[in-house]
Amino acid sequence: MSFRDSEGIEHAVELDAGTLYEAVGLAIDRFCRCEHVKYDPKGLHEFIVESREPSTQHRLTRNMFDAWLQRPGGTPADVARKNRLKGLLGEVA
């Protein structure tokens, strides 16, 4: 999981997540808490998500993540995952 900040510095973190959007949410939380990362939560940052096996790469912006997080419905697991991420990111579920 990585993103390039407004100064052009690329930051990366390894984490375990069940979905693409969960990975982005967990990474945002981790980057916001890191004193070495200047994370400006504007919607244009592109996140690069790479899975381990099979190796694949996905790209999405913060705007895309926010739209998914605010979209209602889904499976009970999806609703629980979104509520957990909203709690991590300081949003009311």
The confidence score (pLDDT) of residue 93 equals: 42
Put simply, whether the predicted model's pTM sits higher than 0.75 gets the answer: no
Q: What is the pLDDT of residues 63-80, one digit of tens each?
A: 999 999 999 978 999 999
Q: Are 66 and 52 in contact (CB under 8 A)?
A: no
Nearest to 60 by CA among 89, 19, 29: 19
Exposure of 55 in the CB half-sphere (CA atoms within 13 A):
0
What are the residue boundaries of the structural domains of the chain, listed by start? 2-88
Q: Where would I find the H helices in the chain?
A: 20-33, 62-70, 76-88
The confidence score (pLDDT) of residue 73 equals: 79
Q: Phi and psi of 48, rounded to 5°?
A: -115, 120
